[in-house]
Structure 1
Amino acid sequence: MKRKQTEIEINASKEAVEEVLSDPAQFITNWPYVVRVSRKKGLSAEIMLPRFVFKFRDTYSFEYHKDYNSHIYDGTGNKSMLVLVVTLNKTRRKVKALLELSYKGRGGLFLGKTLQDMVEGIARTLKELAESVTSAAKVPEPTPSLRKELALKVDFSDPMSVATFLSKSRMAHSGLHVISPGELANLLGELRSKLNSSVLYVSGITQDGTSSFKVLLDGSQILAIEYRGNEGVEVIKVTDEASAKKALNVISKISGAYMVNVWVPVGGV
């Protein structure tokens, strides 16, 4: 079995790191070389490991285990096995994570550098996600009137209004999400429940850049949405029941793998 490891320091609480590691679907979705993640029958991930002109591709069914200070992601594929062990060590101000990635199967002799790149990429992902959780927890909550005023000034057809909103906001979440048809509304609800703000600006873009969306939320209410896809651009500002139905219809048809970023307002108007 081929093994590669790396160690990284994370400027976050152990609780924040544990929160990321304890959500294996979200964590694995953000690993390098992950093509697709499915939760239909347990947790499975299609992973393509490149090496020169070859591509070693397999779909792994993952089982997640946790002990005192280690998190284990045990993947069984059709032609190989892939196992990640993350061991945490709390220092005075930071958390050190030791990651060991093991591979057994076709092409193992040729994948040394690829596996090293992968485990280092996973380490960076863990650091970014955990520090994002910590930053989100520190975001102060503006008054309801300030949040509303900032949100109502956003006009997706005017780049300057978007830039003004973002200049008074802070990114509270960033990650790759695989969105099933009709499930974007559920994802928005999950993000809202995790962050300390009722107003959220959520954007998503596919890896090839052919599809993107922007959604502005005030609680569970959609204030505006922009969607760019194969059929062009749709922009809806919700002002009544009819426009609210149109916005929900647009949200229901957004699916695929999107890099999703979330901002919350933190400054003055």
Structure 2
Amino acid sequence: MSRPPRLRADRDPGDNWAVAPDGTRYWGAFGAAGLLAHDVERGILLQHRAEWSHHGGTWGIPGGARHQGEGPLSAALREASEEAGAPSGRLRPRALHVLDREVWTYTTVVAEVTEPFEPVAGDEESLELAWVALDEVAGRELHPGFAASWPVLREALAHRPALVVDAANVVGAVPDGWWRDRAGAAARLVGRLEELAQAGMDAGEWDLPLQRWFPRIVAVVEGRARGTAPGTGVEVVDAPGSGDDAIVAQTHALAAAGHAVTVATSDRGLRARVEPVAATRGAGWLIDALDAARQRG
């Protein structure tokens, strides 16, 4: 197809142009978002753009206009599903990169492929979809916007932050009656960690590139809190005995798997045990992050 498909009359209000004071037009009245899906074995999922599209014939990532009231993460996953058949259940968001043009933003969602899938073009915006090895991406004729962002995005792929939470210590820092119901307090903490998993954390908290990160979150529970259900984006580990021993074990396992681990605890003895392989932050730091995530939500 040499011409773009006609816009539907019932399209979302976001499927329109944002116009800068100098007349420059950007697609997406509420901004746009795209998905950088990374498969460790196969590389990056790239889209060969249809000739009629902006910078047609170049390679970029699946993406498009954000819908009204839609967040960038949801938009990127939706667009990747519509354009490339990318299943959100096989992707773990890791970071956000935001290009800000004042009147318009483009958010790249960096995501890890947790289970392989084959892309399938779902509309007329793709000439081809392909997994491209990291070392071969720059050799393609790239969309100018993606080409400008690729160096920092590639650097970001090397980072895998993880957060291990000393649940008993963090719960104990908030005087909300946790001593009467430790299991309930642990469940409340997991619920708040879910909010954090959805909202992400500022890159400055991790000394990382890009703007926002979604660390792997592991909460270790002990004693009467054992059996607490995991949450969306939150793993829960029951300590069979000592909670500290379980946290040390989880920290070493994640570090050995290539994660940059931060342990949230105010326990000085535990911090000394994990500091050879992990950064440590106090319970208050995590509580502040949880409060910030709730405000963003």
The two structures have a TM-score, normalised by structure 2, of 0.25
Radius of gyration: which is bigger? 2
- 1 or 2 for the larger relative contact order (CA 8 Å, sep ≥6)? 1
Instruction: Please give the TM-score of this superposition, normalised by the length of structure 1.
Output: 0.27
